[in-house]
Amino acid sequence: MPSRRAVFRLLAFALVGLPAAVAYVVSGLTRSINFHDEGFPVYAALRILAGDVPYRDFWTIHTPGQWYTLAALFKVFGPSLLAERVWDALVRVLFLFTLYGFASRLSSPRVALAPGLVILVYLGATPFYAYMMFPALLLGALSGLCLLVHAEAPRARWLALGGLCAGMAALYRHDVGFYAAAAGGVVLAARAVTPPAPGAEDAWPARLRRLASLLGPYAAGVVGVVVPAAAALLAVVPRGLLWDQLFVYPSRLAAGLRALPRPPLWLNPLFALEGSEQMKAYLTLVVELWIPFYFPLITYALGAAVALPFLWRAARGHGRETAGWGAMWLTLFGALLFLKAVMRTDAIHLMPTTLMAMVLFTALADRAWKTAGRGPALAVLCVALPLLSISLFWMPAMDWVARAYRGWPPSCSMPLERARCMPLRRDAAAIIELVQALVPPGERIFVGNARHDRTYVTDVLFYFVSGRDSATRYFSLEPGVATTEAVQKEIIQELQRHRVRVIVLYAPPRPFIEPNESGESSGVTLLDDYIRSAYRKGWVSGEYSVWEKR
* pLDDT the model gives residue 80: 94
For residues 136 and 177, give the distance between their C-alpha atoms in angstroms, rounded to a whole number.
7
Q: Which of 485, 502, 491 is nearest to 539 (CA)?
A: 502
How many angstroms separate the CA atoms of 377 and 7, rounded? 36
What per-residue confidence (pLDDT) applies to 256? Answer: 77
Euclidean distance between CA atoms 520 and 453, whole angstroms: 8
In order of their start, the domains of the chain are: 417-549 (3.40.50)
Q: Output the CA–CA distances (angstroms, integers) from residue 324 to 178, 221, 320, 355, in the order listed.
A: 22, 24, 9, 19
pLDDT in single tens digits along all 550 residues of the chain: 455 655 555 666 666 666 776 777 677 777 788 899 999 999 999 999 999 999 999 999 999 999 999 999 999 999 999 999 989 988 998 999 899 989 999 988 888 888 888 898 888 888 899 999 999 999 999 999 999 999 988 899 999 999 999 999 999 999 999 999 999 999 999 988 887 666 655 677 878 888 899 999 999 999 999 999 999 999 999 999 999 999 988 887 666 788 888 888 888 777 777 777 778 888 888 888 888 999 999 999 999 998 888 888 877 766 567 888 999 999 999 999 999 888 888 889 999 999 999 999 999 988 888 776 666 666 666 767 777 888 888 888 888 788 777 767 777 767 898 998 888 888 899 999 999 999 999 999 999 999 999 998 899 999 999 999 999 999 999 999 999 999 999 999 999 999 999 999 999 888 888 888 888 999 999 999 999 999 999 999 999 999 999 8
Report the distance separating Cα 17 and Cα 13, nearest Å.
5
Q: In 3-state terms, the chain is what percent helix, strand and coil (to 5)? A: 65, 5, 30
Residue 1: the pLDDT is 46
Tens digits of residue pLDDT in 365-392: 888 887 766 666 666 667 677 778 888 8
Radius of gyration over every alpha carbon of the chain, rounded to an integer in angstroms: 25
Residue 154: phi, psi to the nearest 5? -65, 95
Cα–Cα distance, 295 to 164 (Å, whole number): 31
Contact by Cβ (8 Å): 479, 258: yes
Distances in whole angstroms, Cα of residue 345 to Cα of each of 49, 239, 249: 35, 31, 19
Give me the count of residues in the chain: 550
Q: What percent of the chain is predicted at pLDDT more than 90? A: 55
The closest of 349, 317, 353 to 337, measured between CA atoms, is 353
Question: Which residue type is seen at 501?
Answer: R
